[in-house]
Structure formats: C-alpha cells, structure tokens
Amino acid sequence: MRYVQLRAFHNVAIHGGFSRAAEALFLTQPAISDQVRKLEEEYDVLLFNRNKKQVTLTQAGQQLLEVTRRMFDIEQQALDLLSESRALRAGRLRIVADAAHHLLHILAAFRRAYPSVQVSIDAGNTESVITSLHAYEADIGVLGEIPQSSDFEILKLNSTPIIAFASRDYPLADTKRISFSELLKHPLVMREQGSKTRQKLEVMARQCNASLTPLIEAEGREAVREIVAAGGGIGFVSSAEFGQDNRLIPIEIDAPEMLMDEALICLRERANGKLVSAFFDIARKLAPASA
C-alpha cells in the first residue's frame, strides 16, 4: 500500500468520480484509475461500485474513507503547524450550524482578523452537526444542545427559552402567553425529527399531559418561519433565534422554562488546528460572562 494509492482512492471518494479526482490532483484519469486498481488488487477488495454514470463506495470503501479522512486531515494539520502564517492567510474553515444567528458577531470579528480565510456555513440540526464533525466534513459546529460526549471541545454561547410564535394576522396576535392545552387547538408547524427544539417541546408537553402533533413538519428553521408568516399555524423557536421579523409575534409558553443552550463545538482532536483555534479564541473573547 502506497501513499499515492490512498490519496487517489480518497479523492475519488470525496469528489464522486475518477475524472473529478484527476482534476483535483492535476493528474490524468488513467493514472488515478491505475492507482485505485492496484490498491484493490493488492488487498483483493472492491472499494468502488462502478457503472457508466456513477461511482459509489462499497462497504469496504466507506470504512476506508473514514480512515483516510482522518489521515489527510492530520496531514493538513501538520502542514498548518509548519506554515502557520499561510494557514491563517489562505485557509478554509467549514462550519455547520443549526442557526447561523448565534455566529454573526463572532464571524464578523473573525473576518476582520483573518480577511483572507474562506469560510463556508451550512445549515443542519443537532444530529447532522455532530455527524458532519465526526465525518470530518466540517471543522466547527453550532448546535442547540451541549453534547455529553468527551469527543468535543465545547464553548457555551448562550442559554435562552423556547417560545411559540405566530403571524401578526393570526387569531392569537394579541396573546402574550399560552398553555400546551391551548396550543393543541391550533395547527402546529414543527421542525423535522432530530431537532432539539422539537424534542424538548415534546418532552415538556408530555409532562404537562399534552401530546404535540404537527399539522406541518418542515425541514429547517427558515422553512418553519415562512410557513408561520404565511398564516400556516404556530411555530416554535428559542427566543435568541426569533430575531426581528415584523410579520411575526412571540408568545411565551405557560410551562416550566425550556432552555436551549447554544454551543460552539469541534472535535477535541482538532481543537489545536490553527483556524479552529483562532475561531474559538475570538468566540471566547465575545462570549457573555454568564455563559
């Protein structure tokens, strides 16, 4: 097994094909195909299912990809360590967040400090944030629940209660506080399974002898917001994420307080990476003292 063979396999896997891997590595497609073929022949294993239109990983290929993700990430960390100034001048930071709202002030400060670093932000719920970090598809995560796993470096950003919200034109527009029993009389718009906001709501509702059944289930906070704004029913969000939207009115929930602890996290083994460490340093300086 040679480094070039693993590199060829890894790039075919992450880019989804031999041609794209060749472009990424500035090699020819036959050269990439030859390296992968030799790796498969040497260990008598099939790493890719090949057909004319698509290349997909076999189970063995998926297992090997988990290893090579770590292998090449560690290689990148070594490169960053040896060329710190380059990493902070021209690196790339990948963030996946359940709500980008919590990051805006941190991101602005980071951009001022490191204007040449490319930052990408993808949306996700708590489950997908953690999955992306473990799969090395993201460097930093933001989620509405502090994980108990020792795998993560964690910085608490804030802690705010879950509230209901409705359109200003909805019959509840003048209501300041509502119980679970009253909520059951209205169409509920809730996020997908896997959302911590939804999970906490459902647990508290059961404790209050109510069962929340969504009339509409939508993937993502923004989808819920738009449905509610159009008069589709009652939505739920943490008060920190309610933001400023003249179409909507907040409604307190008459129940024991349900707090969402928004946190910035990364894999502990990657916490010393130059970009991750720089982002966390700025976040710590800006985090409220109470957090």
Which CATH number covers residue 44?
A: 1.10.10.10
Residue 261 confidence class, pLDDT cut points 50, 70, 90: confident
CATH number of the structural domain spanning residue 279: 3.40.190.10
For 95, phi and psi rounded to 5 degrees?
A: -120, 135
- The answer to whether residue 129 sits within a structural domain is yes
The pTM of the whole model exceeds 0.75: no
The residue from 58, 81, 104 where one domain ends is: 81
- The answer to whether residue 227 sits within a structural domain is yes
Q: Do residues 51 and 170 share a domain?
A: no
Residues in the chain: 291
192 vs 250, residue with greater confidence: 250
Closest CA to 110 of 255, 232, 284: 284
Q: Which two tokens stand for residue 86?
A: 């380059």
Q: How far lies 12's CA from each of 22, 47, 58, 195, in Å? A: 8, 10, 13, 33
State the helix-helix crossing angle for 59-82 and 3-15, rounded to 10 degrees: 110
pLDDT in tens, 28-57: 999 999 999 999 999 999 999 987 778 899
What would the mean pLDDT of 50-73 be, rounded to a whole number? Answer: 88
The residue from 81, 109, 128 where one domain ends is: 81
- The answer to whether residue 139 sits within a structural domain is yes
Q: Which domain holds residue 29?
A: 3-81
Which residue has 């073929």 as its token pair? 37
Q: Number of structural domains, the chain?
A: 3
The residue from 47, 81, 115 where one domain ends is: 81
Q: Which of 80-84, 95-99, 191-195, 281-285 has the highest mean pLDDT?
A: 281-285
- The answer to whether residue 291 sits within a structural domain is no
- The answer to whether residue 280 sits within a structural domain is yes
Neighbouring CB atoms inside 10 A of 20's CB total: 16
State the pLDDT at residue 192: 87
